[in-house]
Amino acid sequence: MIKTRLLSLAALAASAVLLAGCSGANAGDADTAGDADTAGDAADGIQVVASTNVYGSIAEAVGGDHVDVTSIIDNAAQDPHEFEASARDQLRVKRAGLVISNGGGFDPFMDGLVEASGTTATVLTAATLSPDYPGGAGGHADDHDADHAEQDHDHDHLEGFNEHVFYDPAVMAALAEKIAEALGDIDAAHAADYTSNAQAFADGIQPITDALADLKAAHEGAGVFVTEPLPLYLTDAAGLDNKTPSAFSEAVEEGQDVAPATLLEALKIISSTQVAVVIVNEQAAGAETDRVEHEAQDAGIPVLRFSELLPDGKTYLTWMADNVAQLSDALD
């Protein structure tokens, strides 16, 4: 049953001055899409600015031919946590009709862009749609003419919250629905198209969810080691038991050195074959993660490389389906 479903999956398969002085060597300077005079009546459609190509892909799936999407980060060499936006990025956000960010401390540059640009765009923050988001789920789409004091704009890293919500397919289906609502408010003439496209996206999520349920039925309780919390929404849905010392993954996520005792503990967990698979965040490699990867290889444990960004040629659905298929192959 698992293999049959996975085959179907494979088929699916901060001020203006400061910003002006930032380096232009980023995706925002690579093209001029989104430099339309206005957001709502641009010749190429509603201007949508997404923090990464993950969210850009979902916006394109929902908006279709009626939107012109710019993903500020679309290169795997760029780290959303450390990215420095440019003056051109700020201009794009200012002229956008819809802005999509992850939030939760993942893409903090977006907060600066929104605030500095003075945009009147609708802003969607994906992290707030997660049931695990502190204070409850539901998300916010706020008009920045509104009183910011009444909104939740605490976008620093939230203690105990895994901000990588794009690895939760159900949250992304909810985001697609929010995108459809926002686009429909901007462009009522095509609201039915946006709703239909969001439903098609949600339908595409279902085989991924089903495959994760199959993995859980077959492998629930199997150990997993993750160098960073990146894939935990996915591995939790598959019923896997996270064996990673929290001090290890937290240090890697924060870009800090892993304490020697913590590294020793991690290597011992792997060498004693308590885990069935190791998952590395390929955007957060370092000496400690290399040690973990080598230890896993020596122990004959499969090592998977997951990304924070969409690989070339993939949509969100085919990318996530591939991740689940890789996880299944590793566990089998």
Q: Tell me the pLDDT tens digit for each residue of 88-133.
A: 999 999 999 999 999 999 999 999 999 999 999 999 999 999 999 9
- Which residue is listed with tokens 């679309």? 74
User: Same domain for 211 and 179?
Assistant: no
User: Same domain for 303 and 159?
Assistant: no
Q: pLDDT class for 157, splitting at 50, 70, 90? A: low
* Residue among 245, 121, 134 at smallest CA distance from 183: 121
User: Same domain for 222 and 193?
Assistant: no
- Quote the DSSP letter at residue 305: E
For residue 113, give both structure tokens: 């862009």
Report yes or no: 231 and 306 within 8 Å, Cβ to Cβ: yes
User: Same domain for 123 and 210?
Assistant: no
* Residue among 168, 119, 171 at smallest CA distance from 143: 119
Decide if 3 is inside a domain: no
Q: Which CATH number does the domain housing residue 193 bear?
A: 3.40.50.1980
User: Same domain for 184 and 286?
Assistant: no
What contacts 15, CB < 8 A, 6 or more positions away?
Answer: 116
User: Same domain for 164 and 283?
Assistant: no
Decide if 4 is inside a domain: no
Report, as an integer, the average pLDDT of 46-68. 98
Would the pLDDT of 258 be above 80?
Answer: yes
Would the pLDDT of 48 be above 70?
Answer: yes
pLDDT digits (tens, 9 = 90+) for 139-150: 444 444 333 333
pLDDT of the residue at 147: 36
Decide if 91 is inside a domain: yes
Phi and psi, residue 142, nearest 5°: -115, 135
Report yes or no: 228 and 286 within 8 Å, Cβ to Cβ: no
User: Same domain for 191 and 230?
Assistant: no
Q: Domain boundary at 169, 184, 203, which?
A: 203
Percent of the chain with pLDDT over 70: 80
Q: Domain boundary at 203, 231, 252, which?
A: 203
Phi and psi, residue 125, nearest 5°: -120, 110
Decide if 175 is inside a domain: yes
User: Same domain for 188 and 269?
Assistant: no
Report yes or no: 6 and 211 within 8 Å, Cβ to Cβ: yes
Boundaries of domain holding 173 = 14-203
Greater model confidence, 58 or 30: 58
pLDDT digits (tens, 9 = 90+) for 272-287: 989 999 999 988 878 8
User: Same domain for 105 and 229?
Assistant: no
Decide if 9 is inside a domain: no
Would the pLDDT of 17 be above 70?
Answer: no
Decide if 7 is inside a domain: no
On average, the pLDDT of the chain sits at 84
Report yes or no: 99 and 72 within 8 Å, Cβ to Cβ: no
The number of distinct structural domains making up the chain is 2
What contacts 21, CB < 8 A, 6 or more positions away?
Answer: none
Greater model confidence, 136 or 293: 293
Decide if 1 is inside a domain: no
User: Same domain for 103 and 166?
Assistant: yes
Would the pLDDT of 5 be above 60?
Answer: no
Decide if 134 is inside a domain: yes
Q: Domain boundary at 203, 232, 253, which?
A: 203
User: Same domain for 198 and 217?
Assistant: no
User: Same domain for 90 and 198?
Assistant: yes
Q: pLDDT class for 239, splitting at 50, 70, 90? A: very high
